[in-house]
Amino acid sequence: MSNLLKRRAVVRQLLRDRGEMLVVGGLGAPAWDITAAGDHDNNFPLWGAMGGAAMIGLGLALAQPNRRVMVITGDGEMLMGIGSLATIAAQRPRNLAIVVLDNERYGETGQQLTHTGLGTDLSGMARAAGITHAVLVRKPRELADFQAIAAKGSGPAFAQVKVDPEKLPLVLPPREASYLKNRFRLSVLGKTALHD
């Protein structure tokens, strides 16, 4: 029995007391995970745009500086957009947290190994990019500590959470992208969103 954290439990804990927090879910398992925790108007789950989740979070965090923004994505997705860590560090958005659920696998395509399973230290890369609050999480206590830091809004904050490479049932969010965009904008901006 693996003592690695379970991804669905991690995401449930991150989103339990979400309040006004805005959430971007990277394509594949993280999108299913945030949906399993409860589909929400303030979720923007991705069905594509691989490598773009953290940057969507940055644009959103800059546009909504008084709301907390959390990007929840996978190790393969983060690796594809790894330069965005430098871009985010340069902007220093205090309200942005990035959580990488690192199962060291491309889970949707047959569990092929990613670079994090072959020595790449993602949280170290985030720190080296200039994100000061970048941590490796292996235990529930470390996850709670990260949540406390992210909640303070003194970010950007980054967590690489090592999770079990378990295969789980897919919990699919709506997949029509205009619908996802419009429900999110209506929730965040109100009806003026329809007249911008």
Partner 1 sequence: MSKAANSKKVAGMAWPGKVHALFRRAAIRQVAIVPDAGHAQLIRLVEADRSMRLVRLTTEEEGVALLAGAWLGGERGVLLMQSSGVGNCINMLSLPLAAHFPLLMLVTMRGDHGEFNPAQVPMGNNTQKVLEAMDVIVRRADRDDDVADTVDGALRLTFNTFRPAAVLIGQRVMGAKDFRKLANGNDNE
What is the arrangement of strands in the sheet containing 69-74, beginning at the earlier edge strand? 43-45, 22-25, 69-74, 96-102, 157-162, 133-137
57 touches partner 1 (CB under 8 A): yes
31 touches partner 1 (CB under 8 A): no
Give the shortest CB-173-to-partner 1 separation in angstroms.
13
Question: Measured from the CB atom, is 17 or 196 closer to partner 1?
Answer: 196
Assigned token pair, 61: 């965090």
149 touches partner 1 (CB under 8 A): no
Among 87, 115, 127, 153, binds partner 1 (CB under 8 A): 87
DSSP collapsed to 3 states, 14-28: HHHCCCCCEEEECCC
Among 43, 73, 84, 116, binds partner 1 (CB under 8 A): 84
4 touches partner 1 (CB under 8 A): no
Residue ranges with strand state E in the chain: 22-25, 43-45, 69-74, 96-102, 105-106, 112-113, 133-137, 157-162
Look at residue 39 and give its three-state secondary structure.
coil
User: Which residues contribute to the site for partner 1 (CB under 8 A)?
Assistant: 22, 24, 44, 46-53, 55-64, 81, 83-84, 86-87, 90-91, 177-178, 180-181, 184-185, 188-189, 193, 196
